[in-house]
């Protein structure tokens, strides 16, 4: 894994992916390797290949928490079956109960399913554990919006933008901030 980090940090993620692809061919029963490969593919924006790698990891080891967590999140983001995503997120959360990333993923599934109170509770805990995670702030802001807590929603969305100013999360948060401002103006 250290070699892959070095490849990625030196600007050659394709080389790292190629190495892990070869490793998984040579070691087809290694669930962790498929998980690492999926993470690298996801980092490069190849969601389809990442999901395929995570599915291979889970076929080998159905309780592989990182593959379950990452696949669940990608399923939500690509509009796939929320019940399957929920099941995967729960597997990840059971295995890694103190990880903010598993709380965030499970909360985002709850959000998508309309269970905003459960999402809020998980996200508030995740935010305390990982206060500099823009995604958690964004998801918490979105959840507060659904719970009609607009003032806290604005705080969280602004924090998401501040933490990751040139990211898709920031763009999404800015868009939501524009909508929140409109909602506040309409209520006056």
Confidence of residue 10 (pLDDT cuts 50, 70, 90): low
Tell me the three state secondary structure of residue 166.
coil
Tens digits of residue pLDDT in 77-134: 999 999 999 999 999 999 999 999 999 999 999 999 999 999 999 999 999 999 999 9
**Which tens digit of pLDDT belongs to each residue from 143-180?**
999 999 999 999 999 999 999 999 999 999 999 998 76
Instruction: Specify whether the CB–CB gap between 44 and 15 falls below 8 A.
Output: no
Q: What 8-state DSSP symbol labels residue 98?
A: T
Cβ contact 65:95 at 8 Å: yes
What is the per-residue pLDDT for 133? 97
Determine the Cα–Cα distance for residues 94 and 77; give it in Å rounded to an integer. Answer: 22
Q: For tokens 């890694």, what's the residue? A: 96
**pLDDT tens digits along 40-70:** 999 999 999 999 999 999 999 999 999 999 9
Q: How many CB atoms within 10 Å of residue 151?
A: 9
Would the pTM of this model clear 0.85, i.e. be above it?
yes
């Amino acid at each position: 894994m250290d070699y892959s980090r070095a490849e990625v940090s030196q600007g050659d993620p394709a080389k790292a992916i190629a190495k892990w692809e070869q490793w998984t061919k040579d070691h087809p029963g290694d669930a962790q390797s498929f998980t690492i490969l999926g993470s690298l593919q996801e980092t490069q924006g190849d969601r389809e290949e990442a999901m395929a790698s995570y599915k291979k990891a889970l076929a080998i080891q159905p309780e592989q928490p990182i593959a379950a967590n990452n696949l669940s999140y990608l399923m939500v983001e690509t509009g796939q079956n929320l019940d399957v995503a929920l099941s995967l997120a729960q597997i990840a959360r059971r295995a890694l109960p103190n990880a903010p990333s598993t709380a965030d993923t499970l909360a985002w599934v709850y959000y998508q399913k309309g269970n905003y109170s459960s999402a809020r509770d998980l996200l508030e805990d995740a935010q305390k554990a990982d206060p500099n995670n823009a995604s958690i702030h964004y998801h918490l802001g979105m959840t507060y919006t659904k719970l009609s807590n607009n003032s806290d929603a604005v705080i969280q969305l602004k924090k998401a933008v501040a933490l990751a100013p040139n990211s898709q999360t920031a763009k999404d948060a800015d868009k939501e901030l524009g909508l929140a401002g409109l909602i506040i103006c309409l209520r006056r």
